[in-house]
Each structure stands twice: as structure tokens, then as C-alpha cells.
Amino acid sequence: MLGLLLAVILGAANAYLGLYAGMTVSASIPAAVISMGVLRILGGATQLENNVVQTIASAGEAVAAGAIFTFPALVILGRSGDLSYRDVTLLCAVGSTLGSLLIIMLRRAYIVEERLPYPEGKACAEVIRSGTAGRTAARPLLTGGAIAAVIKLAQGVGGLLPDAIGGARWLVGMTWAGSLDLSAALAGIGYIVGIQIAAMVLAGGAIAWLVAVPILSLMYPELRHEPAASAAAQLWRTQVRFLGVGAMLTGGLTTLWRMRRPIIRALGDVRRAELIADEARAREETDIPTAQVAIAVALCVLLMFALYGRVSGSWAMALVLAGSLAAIAFFATAVAGYLTGLVGASNNPVSGVTLIVLLAIALLLKALGAGAVLGPRIAILAGAVVCVAAAMAGDSLHDLATGFHLGATPRALEYGVLIGALVSALVVAPILKVLIASYGIAGMPHAPARALAAPQAFLMAQVVRGVFAGGLPWTMVGIGAIVALVLHLIDVRLEGGASGWRTPPMPLAIGLYLPLGLSVAIALGALMRAAIGGRQRSETDTGLLFSAGLVAGEALTGILIAALVTAGVKLPLL
């Protein structure tokens, strides 16, 4: 029950953070600390019991991440009525089931044989293993949460602080714009992800806002009659953001290619597990039986077939789509699970994987005869399943990595994460509706100044709209793809030379489609970590826990402010 309660709370917090900043942060460490504190008050608990609570709780964050990256695209496409409780809940349940079960066949390959680091998984194991770490770690976590909550309340409720500072002006015939978001959560994200990832995000923001926007403003002289800030925002929204689309597409394709051998080995591992299924196995090597996984996956396919058939009115199209998604979901979870094992759950590039899948689905639906009205809707509903599955895969493998270090039974954790995911799926739709109704989405008609950016949802809406109705700026997509390819080639060379610095294209793609203020705030957080030597510290240091508190405090306060707005309270008060 404690795990399920935390799953709902942390899932709601990450839903807000993802719509606001386009990034989510793993809830594993806060969940582990809270679990130990609460269970100690109730009389104490073993390491494995705390591991189960943390596993169930972190599932809520993964379901929320997958949902907020896709379903708001329906609102952007003018299909807000499609955010029905039934459809959102069923698709989240299907995606989370596929993501949490398909990775069972990857567990041994990635965690036991490949020994991928899974940083949050190892950190959680260290926190749980230490009998005093929970009591010590709770203090910086709560302090960070309180500071972030005060700042957010001063901004959103009191109106005493601005959300961001910045300016824009015309200079030598070009528009120049810059900004800095005053966000404790973004600084916390920067500290957590570190200087390398943050530098790539900032580089993407600099390319978008300090290179692409000024150059494009020379090509659209009609914009010179508008204020500099308005012109810059329009160019970024309609043109520059699609550099990020191209970069994500290339980054995802290169990821699939580089992961081909681990995926093939994982498929072979499934076969080996079948051959020894009847033999006695150690408790630490016991997974959910393959037959149960197969039955659950089959039920998911039937649910997708029924839902897509009802929406499309074509059962043949629904059959092709449901069958294709089952296969696509496995490869998406394999890629996301491997990448998150290297860079952590907070950096799981689910949006990049989903963009590739979404483009493929949209092209498939167009080939099957779906029109410009129905096609984008079905594409988003299909992409949501893959996005939730990819997010759940990274989260589940981190939980299983924690269990591996603690000597847990994988089967118990696999059932736990599935239960947490299914319960979280029941509350995603109301949370989405509250946030969208309260804040709005930036770029939509009548959206308020503090509207949520929802960058991934915006991109996905634009991609499917461009496939079916045309107008997608393919030149910008192509340039973004070339930039990402160059970065990938540099990254391969750096990897071959055992360099300590890498150039993964995914973080740069994030910077390309985020507002510059978010990228700058993230970079400042990473610089603070570098300044105090956080790069060499343990993943359980007080700085990281304080940063996790900053993220959780602002996100939870954002949910509170959204509830006040929904209740009719006019904010800010001053």
C-alpha cells in the first residue's frame, strides 16, 4: 500500500515536470528514502521489503513519463475529446504491461551478463543497504524540497518572483533572444545529469536560439515589423524545433544499430531460459514464467486490436497495427533499457525512440488508407503504447538492478512493478486533464503566459500532422539529422579512443527543441556539481539527494497550484 501511494504521488509530480520541462527524473532514490523512513516508524523492515516498496513506487513515474510525452499531442491536434478516461487508462495499462514484462527476457543479458551500470539502481541499493543512510539522507532531501516549494509558491501563488528572466532585440537585421528560467527543479536536474549531458543540452539550445533563429530571421523579412521576442518565438516554434526532430530520428536509428548485438543475445537468452525452465533455479534467478508473460502480451494485443478497431472503423487496419506494435514494443524496450543502463533512468531517451516509431506508424497508416483527420489520431494513440512501454522498460530494469545488488527475487520485483504500473495507469487521465486545464499548452490558442511547454507532445503532433497533411519543414529535419549524424560519428571516435568526454546526439536534440531558458538553468545546475566536485562523488551524496528534493518539491508544488487553479482560485494572488 505504501508503494502504491508513492507511485501515484511521484507519478503526478513527474507528469507536471515532464510537461513543464520536457524531462523527467527517476523517483527511485526519493522513494527508497521515504520507504525506509516510513517503515522504520512502523517497526522496521528488511532491505528486500524496502526494495519492493521502491520498485512499486517508481512505476508511477515511468507511466506518467510515457503518457505526458504523447497524449497531450491529441490536444495540440485539436482532439481534446480523445483524452477519455477509458482510452488513456487502457493504453497506459497496455504499454506499461508490455514494458514491464518484455524486459524480463532482457534482465539476465543486460544486468547479469553485460553488467551495465544502471546508476540509479546501484544508488538505490547503496541507500537501502546502509542502515543509517536513510536517516541521514532524508535531511537534504526534505531541505531541497522545502526550498523548491517556497520558490514555486512565491512564483505561482504569490507572484513575488518571475518564472524566468530574459530579453530580445533586433540587431544587424537579425532577432536575438535569450532567457533563464528561475527554476529550482531545473537546477536539480542539471546536478543529477552532470556536466557532459548538460553541456550537450546547452549546446543544442545555443545552436537553436543563437545560430538558427538569427539566421532564419534574415530569410523572413516580414517578421521585422514584429517585436523581437515574438519573431524569435515564432521562428523557433515553426522551424527551429524541427532540427530536434531530425536529430532525434538520427539518434534513435544509430542507437538501434549500435544495440543490435545485445538485442540478438537477449533473444537467444529467452531460448535458453525455455530449455531450463523445468530445472531447479536459485531464488535470485527466478523470473515470472515465460508462459505468463506470453499470455499477458497476447491479452495486450487483443486490447489494442479492439481499441484501434473501434477508433478506426477498420478491423483489418487494427489487426496490422496491433501485431506491428507488439513487435515494435520489444525493440523499443530493448533500446531504451540498454541506454538507460548506461546513462540512468532520468536520461532515458524515450521521446527519441517514440518519434521514430511514430513516424513509421504514421507512414504505415497512410499506406493503409488512413486520412488526414483520422490518421494522426490513431498514430498518437498507437505511439502512446510504445512510449509508455519504453519508459517502463528503463524504470523496471533499474529496479531489477537494485534487486540484483541486494540479492532480491526478480519475480517478486517483476510482479511489484507490474502492480504499481497498472494502479498508476488508473490515475494518469485525471492528472493530465487537471494539468492541461489549469496551465494550458504553450503555442495553443488562448494559452496563458505560464503555459506548459510540452515539447515532446508538440513534436509528435507536428510529425504526424506533417505526414498526413504536409507542411513538415523537411529541410530543418534533414539539417538536424545531419548534425546528429556528425555528433554520432564523433562519439564513435571518442568511444574508440576511450575518451572521458562523449557527444551523444540525444541530449543535443533535447536542447534544440527546449526553450533556451530551460537549457541554461540545467547547465547552471551541472556547473554547480562540477564546482563542488560532484562528478567524482558517490551517487548517494548529499548534493544529489538535495537536488532530488529540489525536483520533487517544485513538481509537487506545481500539482498543488494546478489543483488550486482547477478549483477556481485566481493566481497569482498578488
When mean pLDDT is compared across 128-132, 310-314, 484-488, 533-537, the lowest value belongs to 533-537
Task: State the Cα angle at 91 between 64 and 342, rounded to 5°.
Answer: 50
Rounded Cα–Cα distance for residues 17 and 11 (Å):
10
Q: pLDDT confidence of 150, banded at 50, 70, 90? A: very high
CA proximity to 398, closest of 110, 130, 114: 110
SS3 164: strand
Lowest mean pLDDT among 52-61, 168-177, 254-263, 451-460: 254-263
Region of poorest pLDDT, from 299-313, 384-398, 404-418, 534-548: 534-548
Regarding predicted confidence, which is higher, 72 or 261? 72
- How does DSSP assign 5-36, residue by residue? HHHHHHHHHHHHHHHHHS-----HHHHHHHHH
**What is the share, in percent, of the chain residues with pLDDT greater than 90?**
16
Are the CB atoms for 119 and 344 separated by under 8 Å? yes
Nearest to 356 by CA among 512, 251, 506: 251
CA–CA dist 324, 129 (Å, integer): 42
Report yes or no on whether pTM surpasses 0.85: no
The three cell numbers locating residue 79: 482532439
pLDDT at 364 over 70: yes
The chain-wide mean pLDDT, for the chain, equals 81
| Predicted pLDDT of residue 151 | 94
User: Would you place residue 538 in the very low, low, confident or very high pLDDT band (cuts 50, 70, 90)?
Assistant: low
Query: 92 pLDDT band (50/70/90 cuts)?
Result: very high
The predicted pLDDT at position 536 comes to 47
Confidence at 273, pLDDT banded by 50, 70, 90: low
CB 88 within 8 A of CB 428: yes
Task: Provide CB contacts within 8 A for 131, sequence distance 6+.
Answer: none
**pLDDT value at 357 more than 60:** yes
Distance of CA 302 to the CA centre of its chain: 27
- Chain-centroid distance, C-alpha 321: 24
Q: Among 202, 225, 218, 211, which residue's Cα sits nearest to residue 177?
A: 211
Mean pLDDT of the region 237-263: 75
Dist. CA 432–CA 309, nearest whole Å: 25
Say which DSSP state 167 is in. E
According to DSSP, the residues that pair with 174 across neighbouring strands are: 171
Sequence-distant (6+) residues with CB within 8 A of 548 are: 25, 29, 30, 141, 144, 188, 192
Q: How far is CA 68 from CA 75, 170, 366, in A?
A: 11, 35, 25
Neighbouring C-beta atoms of residue 261, cutoff 10 Å: 8
Least-confidence region, from 360-364, 468-472, 488-492, 512-516: 468-472
Cell of 404: 540484483
Q: What does the pLDDT read at residue 415?
A: 93
pLDDT band at 25 (very low <50, low <70, confident <90, very high): low
Cβ–Cβ under 8 Å, residues 518 and 181: yes
Distance CA 426, CA 403 (A): 26
> What is the pLDDT at residue 21?
65
Quick one: pLDDT at residue 546?
Answer: 85
What average pLDDT does range 385-399 have in this prediction?
Answer: 87
Most confident of 80-94, 100-114, 311-325, 343-357: 311-325
Using one digit for the tens of pLDDT, what is the confidence trace for 547-569?
Answer: 877 877 887 787 777 777 767 67
Segment 347-352 shows an average pLDDT of 64
Is pLDDT at 530 greater than 90 in this prediction?
no
pLDDT at residue 49 is higher than 80: yes
- Residue 176 DSSP SS3: strand
Ordered by start, the domain boundaries in the chain are 2-281+300-566
Instruction: Give me the pLDDT at residue 206, please.
Output: 93
- Asked whether the predicted pLDDT for residue 43 surpasses 60, the reply is yes
More confident call, 132 vs 338: 338
d(CA 475, CA 490): 23
Q: Is 25 exposed, middle or buried (0-12, 13-18, 19+ CB in 10 A)?
A: buried
DSSP-derived secondary structure letter, 280: -
User: What is the percent of the chain with per-residue pLDDT over 70, rounded to a whole number?
Assistant: 86
Q: What is the mean pLDDT of residues 187-207?
A: 86
pLDDT of residue 82: 62
The three cell numbers locating residue 354: 517514440
pLDDT value for 266: 57
Average pLDDT, stretch 311-335?
85
> SS3 helix, strand, coil % of the chain, rounded to 5?
80, 5, 20
DSSP string, 166-229: EEEEEETTEEEEEEEE--HHHHHHHHHHHHHHHHHHHHHHHIIIIIIHHHHHHH-GGGGGS-HH
Q: C-alpha grid cell for residue 36?
A: 525506509
With a cut of 80, say whether residue 482 has pLDDT above it.
yes
Which residues, at least 6 apart from 132, have a Cβ–Cβ distance to it below 8 Å?
A: none
Residue 353 has pLDDT above 90, yes or no: no
Ranking 57-61, 77-81, 205-209, 229-233 by mean pLDDT, the lowest is 77-81
Beta strand 164-171 pairing with 174-181: antiparallel
- What would you report as the CA-atom Rg of the chain, rounded to the nearest whole angstrom? 22
Helix (DSSP H) and strand (DSSP E) numbers for the chain: 23, 2
Mean pLDDT across the stretch 350-358? 75
User: DSSP labels for 84-116?
Assistant: -HHHHHHHHHHHHHHHHHHTHHHHIIIIIIS--
In the chain, how long is the greatest CA-to-CA distance? 76
Q: What does the block give as the cell for 195?
A: 556536466
- Model pLDDT, residue 177: 92
Find which of 111-120, 152-161, 469-478, 552-561 is predicted with most confidence, using mean pLDDT.
Answer: 152-161
The mean pLDDT value for 66-72 works out to 86
Kindly state the average pLDDT of the residues 252-260.
69
H helical segments located in 407-504: 410-439, 455-469, 474-496
